């Protein structure tokens, strides 16, 4: 099949590449000239495991092309995916100007029937808006499909090639059949392709993300309570997750969720509810809990040093919003590091991949360690924000030798509190039982 993918970011680049990998002829379009030039030069603008080699192979096989010329891409394609960004506006509603702009541009370039597939995350009713914008710009026939994307950054290629499910919202049976054929190579193990109407497909994406976000906030509150009542959230998590109705995933407490999706999608769903006169209370609470949780490591460090962080060297491990990505959009590290800086701390951070992204955010207000252990030199505390694999089994003796004080605030519960205590560290995780650093402060 001939496919145009409009918007070559995390979603568009992965989707376009994976469609090419299954034999389709794909043209990826972006308005960002520099991005397209980079891709044409064989360089990948984002970090995503496995993506670079897939792009290389499909470009060599001439199934994957990159262009800034949307008109040309639309003319040679039957299916046009819209994968542009939907950033939040001040009131929480997603800004649809890129989506509607792309739809209008596709309509203007059409020279016959096209299937326009909405892959960006968009509020209920957007497919109707797209129809309106397109009808005003073309006399040719078209169908609008809502096909939300569920990939996770850090495992995007794998998720796309082996989705748990594919959701296709389409009013027209023929075009739904074409979409099913396009996706059939990815669901050979029997995972479902679910067809439904546009509105249900649009709502499915928000409901899934909001439910996951709520689960995270819920467990973060359980962890905070566990600390107060002297329970251990790791035991609670296993006890709760062993219930087949609940399951073990997404029960890990931490420093709050970030990324380009959960925060904005929770807000957007709340906004949709409000527009329809409905107060979606769980969403408000999910958001509020998360905002506080993002500052939890800062608060722990602040309490430990009795409010006096001025001039103290603080080491940070992990800046990306999650492992295996360079993405820092809405990352808890931004809240944590900003709060440390506001209180006069000197921050030296290490992240295996997100250093360049971090530089754009913090500039020279923090130091960037090239290696994991370099961040620790002379530090009075280490804050662990992202659970990169390389942080899981560190050389504790080396850490202790490098640090001015062996104090760890672990936002991802990577270490056993008793073991770290036995090794001579003051350790505080999230909701796990162990000697609290604030109890032993000054010893
Ligand atoms: P992104 O910011 O990485 O990429 C968007 C791209 O679209 C940019 O390269 C931008 O230059 C380009 N663009 C904007 N307007 C354009 C136009 N008119 N024509 C061509 N290109 C244009 O965004 P993303 O993370 O890929 O997210 C895209 C959408 O997918 C969002 O709605 C997001 O919520 C959703 N989504 C994202 C993820 C994720 O993990 N990142 C997962 C599922 C769904």
**CATH value at residue 229:** 1.10.1040.10
CATH number, domain with residue 97: 3.40.50.720
What is the mean pLDDT of the segment spanning 302-329?
Answer: 97
Q: Note the pLDDT of residue 49.
A: 93
Given a cut of 50, whether residue 36 has pLDDT beyond it is yes
What is the mean pLDDT of the segment spanning 364-369?
Answer: 98
Q: Note the pLDDT of residue 434.
A: 76
In percent, the amount of the chain with pLDDT more than 70 equals 98
Query: Rounded distance, CA 30 to CA 377, Å?
Result: 43
Q: Note the pLDDT of residue 435.
A: 58
Atom of ligand 1 nearest to the CA of 46: 3
The last residue of a domain, from among 265, 292, 319: 292
**Same domain (yes/no): 236, 346:** no
**Same domain (yes/no): 210, 190:** no
Q: Note the pLDDT of residue 260.
A: 87
**Same domain (yes/no): 298, 366:** yes
What's the mean pLDDT when you consider all of the chain?
Answer: 96
Please tell me the residue having the least CA distance from ligand 1 atom 27.
Answer: 85
Tell me the two tokens of residue 391. 């942080």
Query: Rounded distance, CA 86 to CA 95, Å?
Result: 5
**Same domain (yes/no): 213, 192:** no
| pTM listed for this prediction | 0.93
Does the beta carbon of 27 lie inside 6 Å of ligand 1?
no
Question: Ligand 1 test: best mutation among 39, 85, 93, 149, most atoms within 8 Å of CB?
Answer: 85
Single out the residue of 172, 121, 168, 167 nearest to residue 143, CA to CA.
172
**Same domain (yes/no): 172, 33:** yes
**Same domain (yes/no): 169, 40:** yes
Q: Note the pLDDT of residue 440.
A: 52
CB 402 within 8 A of CB 376: yes
| Lowest-confidence segment of 174-178, 305-309, 437-441 by average pLDDT | 437-441
Does the beta carbon of 101 lie inside 6 Å of ligand 1?
yes
Q: Which residues participate in catalysis according to the annotation?
A: 261
Q: How many domains does the chain have?
A: 3
The last residue of a domain, from among 292, 310, 335: 292
Does the beta carbon of 31 lie inside 6 Å of ligand 1?
yes
Question: Ligand 1 test: best mutation among 30, 82, 101, 156, most atoms within 8 Å of CB?
Answer: 30
Atom of ligand 1 nearest to the CA of 29: 20
**Same domain (yes/no): 262, 361:** no
Dihedral, CA of residue 15, residue 47, residue 122 and residue 187, to nearest 10: 40
Q: Note the pLDDT of residue 299.
A: 98
Identify the three-state secondary structure at position 377. Answer: coil
**Same domain (yes/no): 277, 339:** no
Atom of ligand 1 nearest to the CA of 156: 40
Residue 397 belongs to what domain range?
Answer: 294-440
Given a cut of 60, whether residue 283 has pLDDT beyond it is yes
In percent, the amount of the chain with pLDDT more than 90 equals 96
Does the beta carbon of 144 lie inside 6 Å of ligand 1?
no
Enumerate long-range contacts of 110-114, CB under 8 Å, 24 or more apart.
Answer: 110/74, 110/138, 110/140, 110/142, 111/75, 111/140, 112/140, 112/141, 113/78, 113/140, 113/141, 113/142, 114/74, 114/77, 114/78, 114/79, 114/80, 114/140, 114/142
Q: Note the pLDDT of residue 442.
A: 45
Confidence band for 438, pLDDT divided at 50, 70 and 90: low
Does the beta carbon of 261 lie inside 6 Å of ligand 1?
yes
Per DSSP, 389 falls in state G
Does the beta carbon of 9 lie inside 6 Å of ligand 1?
yes
**Same domain (yes/no): 173, 30:** yes
Please give the distance of CA 9 from its chain centroid, rounded to a whole number: 13
Q: Ligand 1 centre from 83 Cα, in Å?
A: 5
Q: Ligand 1 centre from 6 Cα, in Å?
A: 9
Question: Ligand 1 test: best mutation among 10, 48, 108, 148, most atoms within 8 Å of CB?
Answer: 10
Given a cut of 50, whether residue 190 has pLDDT beyond it is yes
Atom of ligand 1 nearest to the CA of 101: 18
Q: Note the pLDDT of residue 38.
A: 97
Hey, how many other C-beta atoms are within 10 angstroms of the C-beta on 95? Answer: 14
Given a cut of 60, whether residue 436 has pLDDT beyond it is no
Tell me the two tokens of residue 308. 């006096």
**Same domain (yes/no): 192, 243:** no
Atom of ligand 1 nearest to the CA of 122: 32
**Same domain (yes/no): 10, 137:** yes
The last residue of a domain, from among 177, 196, 215: 196
**Same domain (yes/no): 281, 318:** no
Longest dimension (CA), the chain: 78
Half-sphere exposure of 83 (CA within 13 A, CB side): 24
Does the beta carbon of 412 lie inside 6 Å of ligand 1?
no
Given a cut of 50, whether residue 443 has pLDDT beyond it is no
Does the beta carbon of 7 lie inside 6 Å of ligand 1?
yes
Q: Note the pLDDT of residue 218.
A: 98
């Amino acid at each position: 099949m001939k496919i145009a993918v409009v918007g070559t970011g995390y979603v568009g680049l992965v989707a376009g590449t994976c469609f090419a990998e299954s034999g389709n002829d794909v043209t990826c379009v972006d308005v960002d000239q520099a991005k397209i030039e980079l891709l044409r030069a064989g360089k990948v603008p984002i970090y995503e495991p496995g993506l670079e080699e897939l792009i290389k192979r499909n470009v060599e096989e001439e199934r994957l092309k990159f262009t800034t010329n949307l008109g040309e891409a639309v003319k040679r394609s039957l299916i046009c995916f819209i994968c542009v960004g939907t950033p939040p506006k001040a009131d929480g509603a997603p800004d649809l100007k890129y989506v509607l702009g792309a739809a209008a541009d596709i309509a203007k370039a059409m020279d016959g029937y096209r299937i326009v597939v909405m892959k960006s995350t968009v509020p209920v009713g957007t497919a109707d808006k797209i129809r309106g914008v397109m009808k005003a710009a073309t006399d040719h026939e078209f169908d609008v499909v809502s096909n939300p994307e569920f990939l996770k950054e850090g495992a995007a290629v794998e998720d796309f090639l082996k989705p748990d499910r594919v959701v296709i919202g389409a009013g027209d049976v023929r075009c739904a059949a074409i979409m099913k054929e396009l996706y059939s190579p990815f669901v050979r193990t029997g995972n479902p392709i679910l067809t439904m109407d546009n509105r249900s497909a649009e709502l499915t994406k928000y409901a899934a993300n909001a439910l996951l976000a709520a689960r995270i906030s819920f467990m973060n509150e359980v962890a905070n309570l566990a600390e107060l009542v002297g329970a251990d959230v790791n035991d609670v998590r296993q006890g709760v997750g062993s219930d087949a109705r609940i399951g073990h995933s997404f029960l890990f407490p931490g420093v709050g969720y970030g990324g380009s999706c959960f925060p904005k999608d929770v807000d957007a769903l709340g906004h949709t509810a409000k527009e329809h006169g409905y107060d979606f209370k769980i969403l408000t609470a999910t958001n509020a809990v998360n905002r506080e949780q993002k500052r939890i490591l800062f608060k722990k460090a602040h309490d430990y040093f009795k409010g006096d962080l001025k001039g103290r060297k603080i080491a940070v491990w992990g800046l990306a919003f999650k492992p295996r990505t360079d993405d820092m959009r809405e990352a808890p590290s931004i809240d944590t590091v900003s709060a440390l800086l506001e209180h006069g701390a000197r921050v030296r951070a290490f992240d295996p991949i997100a250093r360049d992204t971090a530089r754009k955010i913090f500039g020279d207000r923090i130091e960037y360690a090239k290696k994991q252990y370099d961040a620790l030199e002379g530090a009075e505390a280490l804050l662990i924000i992202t659970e990169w694999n390389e942080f899981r089994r560190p050389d504790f003796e080396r850490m202790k030798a490098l640090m001015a004080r062996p104090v760890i605030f672990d936002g991802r519960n990577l270490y056993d509190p008793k073991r770290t205590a036995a090794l001579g560290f003051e350790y505080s995780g999230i909701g796990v039982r162990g000697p609290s650093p604030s109890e032993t402060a000054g010893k």
